[in-house]
């Protein structure tokens, strides 16, 4: 690949910077370089490796010079549907309505067959891209935010990533970005990575339904979704939130509803120890699912990274697993999502109005 004469040059990247800082600087430059980019690497292997990982995560062609001092890269694709079409074909599109998802959920409940929907946004491609696209330092930011742990054994990261990849491959529907964060390079990098990591692991396939990651929050106020819950043989909620009472009151006493608890997201605190979430809580929840989930079950999951795996397990057991994420926060009246929730999302507590 030849360097274009008007390519943007990036220098000032040194070994003193963290992995995340280096990837952030390269991403910022790449998003603002319509004619391509050249990174001055000083011939340092670590910088070369991080630059290559960044360009691969962004899904752009790149070339390392013979002396290893420069990496040139093509322009970044700025349109998510363009990236999806590039991966799985011209007919691919990201639906902005949750209606077709609910069509699939309703049919699976009625026919008592397995079905799952999994969301791939920021943390997921980072963990599933561990090793090829992201370093351990970068990946640990997600585990630290969600679990509060300072470090995890490499083997644990690899195992969680493998389970997440398998569940995502087997999913019937995927929630993926329908736009990229232009002003937040780290988020834009991860949103691009949803497509490149998904393609690398053969997750993005033509037989899946693709919906906007943002349209999922509409389920918080969807009366059709609540109606489907009432039609299920039973409903199981896997979450760190105390939502069971609110949801039972919404659905009515005739709905068989149980919950499986786990530690809530710690958000950068360091209050949990290695092993609390994985493998301890993970194994416990998998055992409880085996007792409660079967054909006709609807499993509502708000469990972060492990939630992808629980959705896959729900499908394997013959149930329907839906990765709701922060929708469960919305039902509890917790304002945890930067973009906000639809008006009327909070479910009244039992006895409330």
* Sheet strand arrangement including 62-64: 8-10, 37-40, 70-73, 62-64
pLDDT at 28: 93
Q: How far apart are CA 230 and CA 235, in angstroms?
A: 8
Question: Are residue 67 and residue 125 in the same domain, yes or no?
Answer: no
User: Mean pLDDT over residues 211-232, rounded?
Assistant: 95
Question: Are residue 100 and residue 49 in the same domain, yes or no?
Answer: no
Last residue of a domain, one of 23, 49, 73: 73
pLDDT at 21: 94
Does residue 119 sit within a domain?
yes
**Residue 280: strand, helix, or coil:** helix
Q: How far apart are CA 201 and CA 222, in angstroms?
A: 33
Provide the 8-state DSSP code for 206: T
pTM of the model: 0.93
pLDDT greater than 70 at residue 284: yes
Does residue 171 sit within a domain?
yes
Residues 6+ apart with CB under 8 A from 113: 295, 318
pLDDT at 73: 97
In Å, how far are 213, 298, 302 from 327, measured between CA atoms? 12, 15, 8
Question: Are residue 150 and residue 112 in the same domain, yes or no?
Answer: yes
Question: Are residue 287 and residue 191 in the same domain, yes or no?
Answer: yes
Residue showing tokens 């697993």: 321
pLDDT greater than 90 at residue 322: yes
pLDDT greater than 70 at residue 96: yes
Closest CA to 337 of 302, 289, 295: 302
Residue showing tokens 């949803």: 194
Question: Are residue 174 and residue 315 in the same domain, yes or no?
Answer: yes
Does residue 352 sit within a domain?
no
Does residue 347 sit within a domain?
no
- Confidence category of residue 26, pLDDT binned at 50, 70, 90: very high
Average pLDDT value for the chain: 92
Q: Into how many domains does the chain fold?
A: 2
Question: Are residue 127 and residue 21 in the same domain, yes or no?
Answer: no
Percent of the chain at pLDDT > 90 equals: 82
Question: Are residue 138 and residue 222 in the same domain, yes or no?
Answer: yes
- Confidence category of residue 271, pLDDT binned at 50, 70, 90: very low
Last residue of a domain, one of 41, 73, 105: 73
pLDDT greater than 90 at residue 7: no
Residues 6+ apart with CB under 8 A from 102: 222, 224, 225, 228
**Residue 42: strand, helix, or coil:** coil
In Å, how far are 133, 175, 245, 335, 351 from 249, measured between CA atoms? 45, 28, 6, 21, 8
- Sign of the alpha-carbon dihedral angle for 235, 239, 240, 241: negative
Question: Are residue 61 and residue 94 in the same domain, yes or no?
Answer: no
Do residues 47 and 135 lie in contact, with contact meaning Cβ atoms separated by under 8 Å? no
pLDDT greater than 50 at residue 306: yes
User: Mean pLDDT over residues 3-25, rounded?
Assistant: 86
Does residue 245 sit within a domain?
yes
User: Mean pLDDT over residues 12-29, rounded?
Assistant: 94
Residues 6+ apart with CB under 8 A from 5: none
Question: Are residue 144 and residue 117 in the same domain, yes or no?
Answer: yes
Question: Are residue 156 and residue 215 in the same domain, yes or no?
Answer: yes
pLDDT greater than 70 at residue 134: yes
pLDDT at 339: 67
Q: How far apart are CA 290 and CA 22, in angstroms?
A: 44
Q: How far apart are CA 308 and CA 288, in angstroms?
A: 16
E strands of the chain, at which residues?
Answer: 8-10, 37-40, 62-64, 70-73, 115-119, 173-176, 209-212, 234-239, 257-261, 297-302, 320-323
CATH number at residue 39: 3.30.1370
Does residue 38 sit within a domain?
yes
pLDDT at 273: 47
User: Helical H runs in 18-153?
Assistant: 19-31, 45-58, 80-88, 99-111, 123-128, 136-147
- Confidence category of residue 251, pLDDT binned at 50, 70, 90: very high
Provide the 8-state DSSP code for 152: -
Does residue 3 sit within a domain?
no
Q: Which pLDDT tens digit goes with each residue over 143-196?
A: 998 888 889 999 999 999 999 999 999 999 999 999 998 778 889 999 999 999
Residues 6+ apart with CB under 8 A from 283: none
Question: Are residue 101 and residue 187 in the same domain, yes or no?
Answer: yes
- Sign of the alpha-carbon dihedral angle for 53, 54, 57, 60: negative
Q: Which residue has the higher pLDDT, 351 or 223?
A: 223
Last residue of a domain, one of 31, 46, 73: 73
Q: How far apart are CA 102 and CA 217, in angstroms?
A: 13
Burial class (CB in 10 A: 0-12, 13-18, 19+), 272: middle
Domain of 160 in residue numbering reads as 80-331
User: Mean pLDDT over residues 219-241, rounded?
Assistant: 97
pLDDT greater than 70 at residue 265: no
Does residue 1 sit within a domain?
no
b/e 50-69 (16+ beta carbons within 10 angstroms → b): bbbbbbbbbbbebebeeeee
Question: Are residue 167 and residue 127 in the same domain, yes or no?
Answer: yes
- Confidence category of residue 353, pLDDT binned at 50, 70, 90: low
């Amino acid at each position: 690949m030849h360097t274009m004469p008007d390519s943007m040059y990036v220098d000032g990247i040194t070994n003193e910077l963290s992995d995340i800082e280096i990837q952030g600087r390269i991403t910022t430059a790449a998003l603002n370089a319509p004619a391509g980019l050249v990174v001055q690497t000083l011939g340092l292997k670590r910088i070369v490796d991080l630059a290559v990982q960044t360009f691969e995560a962004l899904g752009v062609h790149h070339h390392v010079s013979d002396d290893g001092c420069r990496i040139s890269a093509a322009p970044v694709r700025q349109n998510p549907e363009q990236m999806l079409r590039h991966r799985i074909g011209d007919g691919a599109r990201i639906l902005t309505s949750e209606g077709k998802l609910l069509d699939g959920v309703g049919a699976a409940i009625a026919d008592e067959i397995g079905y799952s929907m999994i969301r791939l946004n920021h943390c997921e491609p980072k963990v599933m891209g561990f090793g090829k696209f992201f370093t351990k330092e970068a990946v640990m930011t997600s585990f630290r935010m969600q679990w509060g742990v300072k470090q995890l054994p490499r083997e644990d990261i690899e195992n969680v990533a493998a389970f997440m990849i398998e569940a995502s491959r087997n999913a019937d529907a995927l929630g993926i970005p329908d736009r990229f964060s232009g002003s937040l390079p780290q988020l834009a990098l991860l949103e691009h990575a949803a497509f490149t990591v998904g393609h690398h692991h053969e997750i993005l396939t033509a037989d899946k339904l693709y919906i906007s990651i943002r349209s999922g929050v509409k389920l918080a106020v969807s009366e059709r979704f609540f109606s489907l819950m009432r039609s299920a043989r039973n409903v199981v909620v896997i979450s760190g939130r105390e939502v069971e009472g609110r949801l039972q009151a919404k659905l009515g006493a005739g709905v068989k509803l149980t919950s499986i608890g786990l530690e809530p997201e710690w958000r950068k605190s360091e209050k949990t120890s290695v092993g609390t979430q994985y493998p301890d809580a993970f194994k416990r929840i998998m055992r409880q699912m085996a007792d409660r989930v079967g054909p006709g079950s609807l499993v509502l999951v708000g469990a972060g990274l492990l939630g992808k795996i629980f959705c896959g397990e729900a499908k394997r057991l013959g149930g329907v697993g839906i990765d709701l994420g922060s929708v469960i926060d919305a039902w509890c009246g917790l304002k945890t999502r930067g973009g906000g929730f639809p008006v009327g999302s909070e479910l009244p507590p039992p006895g409330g109005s």
